[in-house]
Chain A
Amino acid sequence: MLSDNDVLKILDAAMSTTADFAEVFQEEKSTKTVSLLNGRVIRAGTGYNSGTGIRLLAGTNCVYVHSNDNDIESLLKLAQEASHAIKGISRGEIADISPLIHTSATNIDIDPMNVAKSDTVGYLRNASEHALAYNGLITQVAAGYAATERLVRITNTRGVNKEDSTKRIRLSFETVATKGNEKQTGRVAPGTMRGYEFINEYPLIEKSEECCETAMRMVNAGYAPSGKMAVVLGNGFGGVIFHEACGHALEATAVSIKNSYFTDMLGKQIASEVVSARDNAKIKGEWGSYETDDEGNESSDLLLIENGILKNYLVDELGARRMNCKPTGCSRRQNYSYAPTSRMSNTYICNGESDPKDIIANTEYGLYCTQMGGGSVDTSTGDFNFAANEAFMIRDGKIAEPVRGATLIGKGQEILKNIDMVGNDLELSAGMCGSQSGNVPVTVGQPTIRVSSILVGGRDSE
């Protein structure tokens, strides 16, 4: 990291023309990874990357330059070049740099960066071998582990001088079942901001069996039907639908330029009354948490929707300037090579009152999605799509046969109004979210919910 004096020089250079605000973002990141295929270690990597991003703002005009050459002379030159590109009216003030404040949302007993790779390999190999022997249909098992350590320092012309450190672990385990030409997978991929003790406590053997069961069920399943029907979305990763179809449309990135169907909707009913939702970056040890965001603001636990009423947007500094409001501490970036913008953290639909069993029992005919794949959304039109990795038909209020290949499509603004039952079994699930400022760790989550009607794109017509 640069000295305060050097950072001040960069801020001075950046503010030499007409910027009203400048920020220096420094980052160091280390990663350790291993990948196993059928119990053999086929890849092991280690990496280190560091760099600096310099951001200048003049009203809503933004200039961002970055480099991984951390030499002060190079950075000063870069800051000067940036200052010539900014188009403001007059030069802003530079406040004194405050004493450094260090924050961390990481909650650690055993530092994952100090655990020998051979320990991790043993753990993954054990589960891999267990899964391979589980059933003759299981033809392949892939397991992966990645530990990341990230230290960032944000210093800006308002005097902010903060350092935030995080350590994260992501595990992935995937089984493939084969039957003739058909191959289907079962997968778990937990992530955490806790230490290696998370790995020691995680019931990977049990989870590996669940992966095998999913893959085996799906390889034996028929195709999902097509058409509009009631859809029950299981808890945990089912929340990816809310993340995509609603969360992205609440980010200032979209709202501030009116590229969202939720623009100008604060205080209005945007979802059915049974829906409340939060974006909470403050959950200790959770994969998507952080203490200080990537522009130096404290993170928050934000109420997004309360009983269907829109309460808050996710706003970053630039978005706040466009929307004439305050940032909410949600500005994030993959690394120094991205300017920060409004992003989600741990985003979930809150617990409701229904017993998940009653939700199924109250559904005469529909689709029950127990494991979702990914999806995407166009925040201007609301068009979304999601794949179900594991799904079952619901017939006469009972879970019936498994089906594969189901995709759910619709409009985000409509689906929220069609949620008619919300369960009481909230669970969070780790994922990576890709958007303008790169890929950031997030969790999605929800209790079991029912949507009265979604178009299911399958291959069979019933």
Chain B
Amino acid sequence: MMDIKIAEEFMIKLIAEASKYGFEECEASYSDDITMSVEILKGEVSSYEQSTSQGVSFRGLKNGQMGYCETSKFDDEAVRYMLESASENCEVLNDEDREFIYCDENNKDLFFSQTTEAYNKNTYNRFAELGLALEKAILALDSRIEAVDYLSIDCSRGPVLIINSKGLHSYRDSDGVSIYAGCRATDSDGSIKSGGHYWIGNDIDKFDMDAFLAKLSENILGKMGARSCDSGTYKAVFTNEAFMQFMSAFLSNTFATVMQKGLSLLAGREGEKIASECLTLKDVPMYEDALTKVPFDDEGVLTTEKAIIDKGVFATALYNLKSANKAGTASTGNGFKSGSTIGVSPTNLLVVPGEKTFDELCAEAGEGIIITDLSGLHAGVNAISGDFSLLCEGYLIENGKKGRPVEQITAAGNFYEIIKNITAVGSDIINIPAGMGEFFTPSVLVSEVNISGEA
């Protein structure tokens, strides 16, 4: 197998040759994604996949413009191809904003390896055995569960190496395991319900099957008898999972890159109150409970912990070097590769939990609705204006308690109004992969959401 040393030699060659093509500064970045996955269907391993996907991308500055090129081939011909292509790209660019190839003199050599010993436990046999046992256990939960249509156990690890002409040498790696199961059940009226659950971690031994089954069972059997509900304005508890989905759909409004393109209503509003005092949203690169910690970004800038929304006040946008320079401020260490170019991404996100349990949030609502899942987030939201209208499901809240399940309804409103109308934040924190790490959030209570259902 090709190893990172071959890639590094190729990158050194690229950087050495770049000046011959007129590049003033340049950078090469390598990543590899090594994965293994097992899928289970009807008592058999239906699919086993193993892969490695590596690539090198180059970016170089010429007359103030940054040209990009990427390849999966690391030979001499590729050196020429990369530099010629990046050079052609520089010639057509006319970006007004200054681009950077960066190296902090005090932090030239950055290294952070978090590949775990436990990763070696991830073998085909281990995954197959666990998957088959899990499928059997799910089917044994309830006679209404007809099939586990999708059950996969995946693991992946990968290094990221970045070197540049200013002397930066940055390396980080991470690993992880995930389990997902989706099943199908038949309701008493013959209609089909589907539900699933996931687990993420970095030690397969820490997978708690009983806890997983309990949650999965709630996610599917809880839907039995679900039907629409009356249209109207409801108090709503967004479960931790639904709130994570919701916040993720609008998060890019806090990216300086999006603001500077005129696509965020938060532009120029740092320091202003934009949300309820209950809401504090932080970017915590080294969050203790995070599976993936991120001490530095892809531009060689050290990351820092900061509040994005601090007790309702929009504290700071997320910046990379380019957007920070344009705004006359410093990078927040959020410059990460997105596609081939450097964009902005959060590291580990945290909605700071409150003190109330989920049941206490329902009690506080009295009458209302619990939203457990939102669909169509890629289509049913206007990320710029904040307007959304989304297919959702959940439960009614009756007399302060979780009531009957509801489906075939939409929740509509505006992101900026919803975050102002959060009246309580729960304590039931969960983590879901997002950004460069995970999103940690509890459930929240919102005073007003428009629900469309029956008449």
Q: Which residues of A contact B (CB under 8 A)?
A: 34, 37, 40-51, 60-69, 71, 74, 77-78, 81-82, 85-87, 117-118, 121, 139-140, 176, 178, 181-185, 224, 226-228, 257-259, 261, 337, 339, 373-376, 378, 380-387, 404-407, 409-411, 455-459, 461
Contact = CB atoms under 8 A, between A and B. Distances in A.
A48 B71 contact: yes
Contacts of A411: 408
A343 to B, nearest CB: 17
Contacts of B51: 65-67, 337
Interface string B253-274: 0000000011101000000000
Contact of A43 (B68, B375, B388, B391): B68
Contacts of A71: 2
B22 interface: no
A118 B452 contact: no
A387 B249 CA distance: 15
Contacts of A117: 88-89, 91-92
Contacts of B409: 409, 457
Interface of B: 1-2, 41-42, 44-55, 67-73, 78, 81, 85-86, 88-96, 124, 147, 149, 184, 191-194, 231, 261-263, 265, 339-341, 375-376, 378-382, 384-385, 387-391, 407-413, 450, 452-453, 455
B124 to A, nearest CB: 6
A227 B382 contact: no
A409 B72 contact: no
Contact of A64 (B48, B184, B413, B452): B48
B147 A258 contact: yes
Given A45-B89, A183-B265, 4 more contacts: A62-B48, A63-B47, A409-B391, A458-B412
Nearest to B91: A118
A395 B343 CA distance: 46
B53 A68 contact: yes
Contact of B410 (A34, A62, A375, A407): A407
A139 B267 CA distance: 15
Contact of B385 (A50, A67, A182, A378): A182
B380 A181 contact: no
A459 B233 CA distance: 10
A376 B376 contact: yes
A227 B376 contact: no
A44 B390 contact: no
23 contacts: A40-B96, A42-B93, A45-B339, A45-B341, A48-B81, A61-B47, A67-B51, A78-B50, A82-B50, A86-B48, A176-B263, A183-B263, A183-B382, A184-B382, A226-B450, A337-B51, A374-B378, A376-B378, A380-B149, A386-B380, A405-B387, A455-B453, A459-B413
B124 A85 contact: yes
A36 B119 CA distance: 43
A407 B410 CA distance: 8
Contacts of B94: 40-41
Contacts of A68: 52-55, 72
Nearest to A407: B389
A385 B380 contact: yes
Q: State the majority secondary structure of interface residues on A.
A: strand
Contacts of A121: 92
B52 A67 contact: yes
B231 A380 contact: no
Contacts of B52: 67-69
A85 B50 CA distance: 10
Interface core residue of B67, B194, B391 (most chain A CB under 10 Å)? B391
A378 B408 CA distance: 12
A181 B408 contact: no
Contacts of B184: 259, 380
Contacts of A374: 376, 378-379
B67 A459 contact: no
Contacts of A458: 389, 412, 452
Contacts of A178: 262
A39 to B, nearest CB: 9
B231 to A, nearest CB: 6
Nearest to B42: A257
Contacts of B340: 45, 47
B263 A140 contact: yes
Nearest to B97: A42
A61 B81 CA distance: 41
Contact of A46 (B47, B88, B263): B88
A85 B48 contact: yes
Nearest to A338: B49
Contacts, number: 239
B249 to A, nearest CB: 12
B32 to A, nearest CB: 9
A42 B69 contact: no
B69 A118 contact: no
Contacts of B450: 226, 459
Given A176-B384, A374-B376, A410 B408 contact: yes
A257 B149 contact: yes
Contacts of A61: 44-47
Given A41-B93, A407-B391, A62 B46 contact: yes
A407 B262 contact: no
Contact of B382 (A34, A85, A380, A405): A405
B92 A118 contact: yes
A183 B416 CA distance: 14
Nearest to B90: A44
Given A226-B412, A459-B450, A378 B70 contact: no
Contacts of A409: 391, 408-410
B375 A383 contact: yes
Contacts of A385: 375-376, 379-380, 390-391, 410
B385 A181 contact: yes
B68 A69 contact: no
List the 5 closest pairs (A to B, CB-CB), nearest first: A457-B410, A374-B379, A385-B391, A44-B89, A46-B85
Given A140-B263, A457-B410, A65 B49 contact: yes
A118 to B, nearest CB: 5
B376 A407 contact: yes
B10 to A, nearest CB: 13
B53 A51 contact: yes
Contacts of B73: 48, 50
A360 to B, nearest CB: 24
B147 A257 contact: yes
A456 B452 contact: yes
Nearest to B454: A228
A211 B164 CA distance: 42
A459 B147 contact: no
A81 B49 CA distance: 11
Contacts of B50: 65-66, 78, 81-82
Interface core residue of B46, B49, B89, B263 (most chain A CB under 10 Å)? B49
A227 B72 contact: no
Nearest to A459: B412
Contacts of A47: 69-71, 340
A295 B390 CA distance: 37
Nearest to B51: A66
B446 to A, nearest CB: 15
B192 A226 contact: no
Contacts of B455: 227-228
A46 B59 CA distance: 11
A409 B384 CA distance: 22
Contacts of B384: 176, 183-185
A375 B379 contact: yes
A178 B384 CA distance: 10
A221 B54 CA distance: 48
Contacts of A46: 68-70, 85-86, 88-89
A41 B96 CA distance: 9
